[in-house]
Chain A
Amino acid sequence: MTENQHNGANGPSLKKIYQVDSTTLGIIWTDGKESRFNVKTLREKCPCANCIDEWSGEKRIKPGQIKDTIRPVNIRSVGRYAIQISWNDGHDTGLYSHDYLQSLG
Chain B
Amino acid sequence: MSDQKIELQVIAALKTVKDPDLHKDIVSLGFVKNMKIDNGHVKFDVELTTPACPVKEQLRQECEGKVKAIEGVSRVEVNMTAEVRAAHHNQPVLTGVKNIIAVASGKGGVGKSTVSTNLAVALSQTGARVGLMDADIYGPSIPQMLGIPITPPKGSGNNKFFPHEKSGLKVVSAAFLTKEGQPLMLRGPMLGGIIQQFLQNVEWGELDYLVIDLPPGTGDVQLTLTQRAPISGAVVVTTPQKVALIDAEKGVRMFQNVKVPLLGIVENMSYFHCPDNDKKYYLFKHGGGQRLADQFKVPFLGEIPIVPEICEGGDDGRPVTLDHPDSSSAQAYRALAGRVAAQLSIVQARENAEQPETTFELAWKE
Q: Contact residues of A with B, CB < 8 Å?
A: 1, 4-10, 13-19, 22, 30, 71-82, 97-99
Contacts and interface: CB of A to CB of B under 8 A. Distances in A.
B257 A97 contact: yes
Contacts of A78: 227
Contacts, number: 105
B365 to A, nearest CB: 6
A77 B258 contact: no
Interface of B: 20-21, 226-228, 231, 233, 252, 255-264, 296-299, 342-343, 346-347, 350, 354-366
11 contacts: A8-B252, A8-B298, A15-B356, A18-B362, A22-B365, A74-B361, A74-B362, A75-B362, A77-B359, A78-B227, A82-B258
B263 A7 contact: yes
Contact of B361 (A1, A6, A75, A98): A75
Contacts of B358: 13, 77, 80
B254 to A, nearest CB: 10
A10 to B, nearest CB: 5
Contact of B364 (A7, A72, A99): A72
A98 B259 contact: yes
B366 A71 contact: yes
A74 B364 contact: yes
Contacts of A99: 257
Contacts of A71: 364, 366
A9 B356 CA distance: 13
B357 A75 contact: no
B32 to A, nearest CB: 23
